[in-house]
Amino acid sequence: MILFQNSRFLDVFCLRILLAALPILCCVPALAADAELEARFKHFEDDTLSRTQEDLLAELKAIEQQIPKGDQASWRRWRRLWCWNGQDDGSESAVLYANEQLAEARRAGDKAAEVDFLLCRGYYHEAAGDKKQGEDDYSTALKLAEQYQQTRLLADAYSLRGMSESQTGRLAEGLRDLQTAQRIYEMLQLHYWSRDNLANIANTYRRLGDVEKALEYYNQLRQIHETEKDYLAVGSILSLSADALEDLGRYEEALATYRLAAEYRRKGGLSETEAPSHLGLGSALLHLGRHAEALKSLAAARADAEKLKNPGGIGLVDLFEGQALAGLGRHEEALARFAAAEPHFRKSELTRYLAWLQQARRDVLAAQGRWQAAYEEGLAFQQTHEALDRLLREHESSRLRIEFDTERKETENKQLQMEKALKEREVVALDEARRWQWGVIALASILLVILLGLAGRQIRRARRLHVLAMTDELTQIANRRHIEMDGAEAIRKSREDKRPMSILVFDVDYFKRTNDSYGHGVGDQVLVRVAKASQAVLRQFDRLGRTGGEEFLVVLPNTNLMQAVQVAERLRAGVASVVMRDLAEDLRTTISIGVAELKPDDADLRAITGRADNALYRAKGNGRNRVEFES
């Protein structure tokens, strides 16, 4: 009711209603006749993923029969659906069809069709391996959808571009686009498409390394689809869950989940040959060492990938077949498969898969005794792996920054909108104060509560970012900045209370050898376990931090030199007892420790750490896995 107090708004509102009503009043019989056609269009547009390809084509043919010959708008609408569902992925004819229909839509001035055919063309460019052209089409369609105010198509554009960015390693940008699409789908109450997009968000979190969060999303989606008895959708989600379980190294569980996914797909109407996720089954069998069985599944996966003309899929099949052949001792055949896979990965910029290939090829070359070639391939793998690690860290930082900026912008927009609405209501209240005074007061109270809630949320967000800035990303202990602040504070308190204070400096013995022998992934896990073992044996008031690489610093308040040596021995023994066999059969990790105590003439923390470093060097020189203290 408050909206109608503005007379100009009321006039415009009423005029729009009248204009909208006129064609309806004039065309009641035609609308009644077209009700079934509209319902079939709407159902197809809002929910196509739960049906098999045969069902989709049959439904499209049925809709085609109902369209009047002269109804060009309905024909363009039908052709939009045919572009997405009636073409072969990656085929030149699909791109040509999208081009022809795009030109026709522009001639007719059909803005929605223009945007949709751009998206369709981009999809087929991407399916053919031309991701740049695909993303260019998505970005152009996104701008036009904003310009033409095509909200549904705007969500589709964000979703498609986000998927492409995520698949090519631009994870933070992909997550931002997918989350934007999710907000629009939910606003439009397009439940099926919001769930499909949510699965892509989960996939992006999995690529970011947050596999547990991805599994939470998959389980949530599985429950929804099972409740609705959408068995094809359940099968798709179970396949994604199996991929995530493989990332966690739970291969038996992944294999069982792939097979369960096939059962659901069969319940959904797929044939015995279509139902299994052949690539996933092959990957799980490969990790379990069942190489001959893996080759059978991968042969079926190759047929699937070639049918879809999916370069990335074909490259993965080549890679996995090569690994299976290597496991059977057929090294030259394995190398041929790797050579076939590499161009697919490089063309599609699938860096993660390229790293897998380089690692596998290095191992095969080493097994053949071709040590120089294996060494060179190992260097290439190390460079790719380090680049991936850097990218992952950058993406995680970008993701947090994007989420923070998005929250901040949304909060600012809401505040501006609420402030504008409040000013308009204040003007109305001045005109009719006696009639609306209680409503204005109540509304102002509600707005105040919302603003306070938003402000509290921002404060909590800022605090979280502060914690992240002071924490080492890998080991989740204090980072260098944090531990040095703790050390400076301990020195200040020690001098104020006239109590002793000591520090330990330690690093992991032969850590470079561990990285070179087992890879940086194993090296990272070693550092994580060393940090956990250290925290377990330190006292409640001791402070542990990572200062860089494999180097750590422990601040021991109220502790003299000999007490610190005892703590150091306990720490050394605790790390030496950590079991590393699950990472590598012959892997054993020890640390060397240097101990120093605060002296009256120490200017700052650097002075004491310098003496501790000297002691650490003596520990290394005297054989490692030992404790030395300042002389």
Give me the residue spans of the domains in the chain.
392-469, 480-629
Q: Which residue has the tokens 């006749």?
A: 33
Confidence of residue 552 (pLDDT cuts 50, 70, 90): very high
Is 550 catalytic? The answer is yes
pLDDT over threshold 90, residue 501: yes
Question: Which segment of 294-303, 459-468, 523-532 scores lowest on mean pLDDT?
Answer: 459-468
The predicted pLDDT at position 23 comes to 52
The predicted pLDDT at position 51 comes to 60
Query: How many Å apart are CA 616 and CA 554, to the nearest integer?
Result: 13
Catalytic residue among 173, 246, 550, 630: 550
Q: What percent of the chain has pLDDT over 90?
A: 43
pLDDT over threshold 90, residue 331: yes
pLDDT over threshold 70, residue 191: yes
3.30.160.270, 3.30.70.270, 1.10.3720.10, 3.10.100.10: which CATH number matches 480-629? Answer: 3.30.70.270
pTM greater than 0.75 (yes/no)? no
**Mean pLDDT of the region 318-341:** 92
Amino acid present at 226:
E
Beta strands at 591-597 and 543-548: parallel, antiparallel or unpaired: unpaired
Note the pLDDT tens digit of each residue in 411-439.
Answer: 665 676 677 667 777 777 776 777 777 76
The predicted pLDDT at position 2 comes to 35
Note the pLDDT tens digit of each residue in 593-625.
Answer: 999 999 999 989 999 999 999 999 999 999 999
Q: Which residue has the tokens 């596998």?
A: 360
Amino acid present at 352:
R
Query: How many Å apart are CA 449 and CA 554, to the nearest integer?
Result: 45
Beta strands at 551-557 and 501-508: parallel, antiparallel or unpaired: antiparallel
Confidence of residue 177 (pLDDT cuts 50, 70, 90): very high
**Mean pLDDT of the region 341-357:** 84
**Mean pLDDT of the region 204-226:** 88
**Average confidence score pLDDT of the chain:** 84
* Exposure b/e, 614-631, CB count within 10 A at least 16 = b: bbbebbbeeeebbbbbbe
pLDDT over threshold 70, residue 50: no
The predicted pLDDT at position 21 comes to 47
Residue that wins the pLDDT comparison between 19 and 589? 589
Q: What is the CA radius of gyration of the chain?
A: 31
Note the pLDDT tens digit of each residue in 581-598.
Answer: 999 888 999 999 999 999
Given a contact cutoff of 8 angstroms between Cβ atoms, the answer to whether 161 and 142 are in contact is yes
Residue that wins the pLDDT comparison between 321 and 392? 321
The pair phi, psi for residue 596, each rounded to 5°, is: -145, 150
pLDDT over threshold 70, residue 8: no
The predicted pLDDT at position 598 comes to 95
Confidence of residue 402 (pLDDT cuts 50, 70, 90): low
The predicted pLDDT at position 307 comes to 79
Note the pLDDT tens digit of each residue in 115-166.
Answer: 999 999 999 988 887 888 989 999 999 999 999 999 999 999 999 999 998 8
Q: Residues with Cβ < 8 Å from 228, sequence gap 6 or more?
A: none
Q: Pick from 429, 457, 427, 455: which is nearest to 442 by CA?
A: 429
The burial of 373, by beta-carbon neighbours within 10 Å (0-12 exposed, 13-18 middle, 19 or more buried), is given as: middle
Query: How many Å apart are CA 403 and CA 211, to the nearest integer?
Result: 19
The predicted pLDDT at position 436 comes to 78
pLDDT over threshold 90, residue 510: yes
CA angle at 215 for the pair 214 and 220, rounded to the nearest 5°: 100
pLDDT over threshold 80, residue 449: no
Confidence of residue 241 (pLDDT cuts 50, 70, 90): very high
Note the pLDDT tens digit of each residue in 256-309.
Answer: 999 999 899 888 888 877 767 888 888 899 999 999 998 998 888 888 888 777
Confidence of residue 12 (pLDDT cuts 50, 70, 90): very low
